């Protein structure tokens, strides 16, 4: 197998999508071709980097653009196929130029679509990274104050009504003293360019901020754990609210609080 044919099949080979004959031929080729083997290694490295960034669903608008681009490419292919009979009467050099022109157009389309998809993934990852910074900064701000709360009470029947008229939603406030999480009180804060509610708990000497605001999507999500600058964050959505819990408490105990909430 020649390099140009092998490189056409490398992506499908890496994804395990080739028929047995092609798979064996590519495997044999990359064992003896350092260049193609290097391209395959680069593809796998990029795939691992993107996987570590997390999978983010593409927006409907991007999916529509991709389908339109693919449909246009298929239409051009059908047009070229219909003129194939005339191609037999073209000089061989012209046929070669047309052939490479088609391949170049297809490659350009793949590059554009890949750039669009990668750009969306990186943008989404950047948004998550920015939100994590906002949550950490809000937590640290509360620790720098004389008190991390604006309403100090261990009675949820006093803390929850305090938010009425101050927030456009009703934060969930629970009494978890018997589980070792002492309710300290609540306050308003500012995260991700919006006013949010913060319910504050304490476990031993550790302050825990539970940030809440209306979820941008109605669907519930499972808890996601992240760590930054020595703090652990857990985020999820439930019942129309987005939750972010942050503390320097260890991850196991913080996950216990999440289950109790």
Residue with tokens 């934060």: 171
Predicted confidence at residue 60, as pLDDT, reads 66
Predicted confidence at residue 159, as pLDDT, reads 96
Residues found in the chain: 261
Predicted confidence at residue 11, as pLDDT, reads 77
**Neighbour-count burial for 76-98, b at 16+ CB within 10 Å, e otherwise:** eeeeeeeeeeeeeeeeeeeeeee
pLDDT in tens, the chain (261 residues): 787 788 778 878 887 888 888 889 989 998 888 877 878 877 777 666 656 555 555 666 666 777 777 777 777 666 655 555 444 445 555 545 555 555 555 565 555 555 555 554 444 444 557 889 999 999 999 999 899 999 999 999 999 999 998 998 999 999 999 999 999 999 999 998 889 999 999 999 999 999 999 998 888 999 999 988 889 999 999 999 999 999 999 999 999 999 999
Predicted confidence at residue 14, as pLDDT, reads 80
Residue with tokens 């193609």: 36
State the pTM of this model.
Answer: 0.54
Helix axes 20-32, 34-53, angle to 10 degrees: 110
The 10s digit of each residue's pLDDT in 151-202 is 999 999 999 999 998 998 999 999 999 999 999 999 999 998 889 999 999 9
CA dihedral 252, 205, 203, 182 (to 10 degrees): -170
Closest C-alpha among 62, 147, 82, 73 to residue 110: 73
């Amino acid at each position: 197998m020649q390099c140009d044919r092998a490189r056409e099949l490398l992506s499908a080979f890496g994804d395990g999508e080739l028929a047995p004959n092609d798979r064996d031929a590519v495997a044999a080729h990359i064992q003896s071709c350092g260049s193609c083997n290097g391209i395959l290694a680069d593809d796998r490295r990029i795939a691992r980097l993107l996987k570590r960034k997390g999978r983010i669903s593409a927006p409907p608008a991007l999916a529509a653009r991709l389908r339109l681009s693919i449909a246009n490419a298929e239409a051009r292919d059908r047009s070229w196929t219909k003129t194939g009979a005339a191609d037999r009467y073209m000089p061989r050099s012209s046929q070669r130029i047309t052939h490479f022109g088609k391949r170049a157009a297809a490659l350009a389309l793949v590059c554009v679509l890949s750039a669009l998809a990668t750009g969306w993934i990186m943008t989404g990852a950047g948004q998550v990274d920015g939100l994590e910074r906002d949550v950490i900064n809000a937590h640290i701000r509360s620790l720098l104050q004389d008190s991390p709360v604006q309403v100090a009470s261990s009675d949820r029947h006093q803390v929850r009504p305090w938010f009425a008229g101050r927030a456009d939603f009703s934060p969930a406030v629970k009494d978890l003293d018997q589980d070792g999480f002492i309710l300290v009180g609540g306050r308003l804060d500012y995260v991700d360019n919006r006013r949010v509610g913060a319910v504050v708990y304490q476990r031993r000497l550790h302050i825990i901020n539970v940030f809440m605001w209306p979820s941008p999507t109605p669907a519930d999500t499972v808890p996601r754990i992240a760590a930054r600058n020595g703090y652990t964050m857990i985020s999820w959505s439930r019942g129309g609210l987005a939750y972010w819990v942050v503390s320097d408490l260890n991850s196991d105990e913080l996950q216990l609080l999440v289950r109790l909430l």
